[in-house]
C-alpha cells in the first residue's frame, strides 16, 4: 500500500498537470459513472493529500476522494511518456505523440484493464485502477473524513500534540499505534518499522511507556523521512554510514532500508538477525539487538 509520501507526490503532480484547467472525467469501467458526471467539464482548483487520502477539488465545490488501498494505482500519460503513481518519468521512457480533438483535449489511448476513473485535459490524462475508494463528496464530507484522521507529518497543519495525547495514554504497542491512521495519518508498514529502528525503540513498547522526549524525536524523524520520500520518490531510511557504499547514490529498497523485508539478514548496525512476526495482519520487522 502506498504510504503518505506517495500521496503528497500525487497531489503535487495533479496540481502541476491539471490545476487551473478544465477536466473531462469518465469511468471506462462504469463503477464511477455518477461521480465522474459530477466533475466532468469542471475546473480542477485544488489538490491535497491527508495521510493516504488524495483530494482533488473542483470549481463546483465538489471533491474527488481517492484511497488507493493495497492495489490502487494512477497511470499518467503526457508528452513525456507514461508513469505511475505520479512519480517522475523513468529514464528512457518513450515520448508520446499525442492526438488532440477539435477542442484541444488529448485523445487518450483505449483503456486497458478496469479503469475506474479517467481524467483528461489539454496536456495529458490520468487513469485510476484498483482503488479501495473513489468517490465525489462535498466539502463538508471531506472535512468529516479528515476529522477522523490523525495529524499528517507532511501537512503544515499537523499537530503532533494530538497524536501524543493518544499515544501517551494507550496500552497498545507503538507498532500498533503508528499504523493507526487516526493516530498519525500516512504511516504504513515501512515507515513504522524503520522509524522505530532508527529511534532504537522496541516496537512492542506500550505507548504510555514512551517518554515525551523520545516521542518528540520520533515525530521529528518521521517528518524528515517522509519529506525525503516526497523528494526522492521512494523510501530511504538508512543513514549513509550504514549503506554498503556510503558514497553511492541511494537506490530503491531494500538497500535503503534497515529492517523491512530483511528477515534473518544481519542488522546493518549490530549484525543481529532481523526479526519478523505477524502483528494485526501485517509483518512487523525489527532488530532485537538495536531495539531493546
Catalytic residue positions, numbered: 2-3, 52, 282
Tell me whether residue 169 is exposed, middle or buried, using C-beta atoms within 10 angstroms of its C-beta: 0 to 12, 13 to 18, 19 or more.
Answer: exposed
204 grid coordinates:
512492542
CB 129 within 8 A of CB 113: yes
Query: How many residues does the structure list for the chain?
Result: 292
Q: What are phi and psi of 240, to 5 degrees?
A: -50, -40
Cα separations in angstroms, 170 against 86, 207, 217: 36, 5, 19
* DSSP state letter for 122: S
CB 109 within 8 A of CB 28: no
Residue 69, CB half-sphere, CA atoms under 13 Å: how many? 11
CB 223 within 8 A of CB 156: no
58 grid coordinates:
473542483
Amino acid at each position: 500500500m502506498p504510504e503518505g509520501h506517495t500521496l503528497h507526490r500525487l497531489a503535487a503532480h495533479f496540481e502541476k498537470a491539471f490545476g487551473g484547467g478544465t477536466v473531462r472525467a469518465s469511468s471506462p469501467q462504469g463503477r464511477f459513472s455518477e461521480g465522474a458526471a459530477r466533475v466532468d467539464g469542471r475546473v480542477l482548483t485544488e489538490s491535497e493529500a491527508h495521510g493516504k487520502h488524495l483530494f482533488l477539488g473542483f470549481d463546483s465545490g465538489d471533491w474527488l476522494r481517492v484511497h488507493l488501498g493495497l492495489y490502487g494505482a494512477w497511470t499518467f500519460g503526457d508528452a513525456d511518456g507514461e508513469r505511475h503513481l505520479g512519480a517522475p518519468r523513468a529514464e528512457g521512457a518513450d515520448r508520446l505523440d499525442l492526438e488532440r480533438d477539435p477542442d484541444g483535449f488529448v485523445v487518450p489511448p483505449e483503456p486497458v484493464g478496469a479503469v475506474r476513473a479517467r481524467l483528461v485535459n489539454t496536456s495529458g490524462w490520468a487513469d485510476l485502477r484498483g482503488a479501495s475508494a473513489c468517490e465525489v463528496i462535498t466539502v463538508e464530507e471531506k472535512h468529516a473524513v479528515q476529522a477522523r484522521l490523525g495529524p499528517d507529518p507532511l501537512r503544515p497543519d499537523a499537530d503532533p500534540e494530538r497524536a501524543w495525547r493518544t499515544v501517551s495514554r494507550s496500552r497498545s504497542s507503538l507498532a500498533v499505534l503508528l499504523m493507526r491512521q487516526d493516530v498519525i495519518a500516512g504511516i504504513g508498514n515501512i515507515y513504522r518499522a524503520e522509524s522505530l529502528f532508527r529511534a532504537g525503540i522496541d516496537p512492542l513498547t506500550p505507548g504510555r511507556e514512551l517518554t515525551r522526549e523520545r516521542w518528540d524525536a520520533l515525530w521529528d524523524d518521521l517528518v524528515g523521512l517522509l519529506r525525503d520520500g516526497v523528494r526522492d520518490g521512494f523510501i530511504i531510511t538508512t543513514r549513509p554510514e550504514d549503506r554498503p557504499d556510503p558514497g553511492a547514490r541511494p537506490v530503491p529498497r531494500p538497500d535503503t532500508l534497515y529492517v523491512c523485508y530483511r528477515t534473518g539478514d544481519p542488522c546493518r548496525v549490530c549484525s543481529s538477525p532481523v526479526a519478523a512476526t505477524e502483528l494485526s495482519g501485517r509483518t512487523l520487522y525489527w532488530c532485537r539487538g538495536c531495539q531493546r
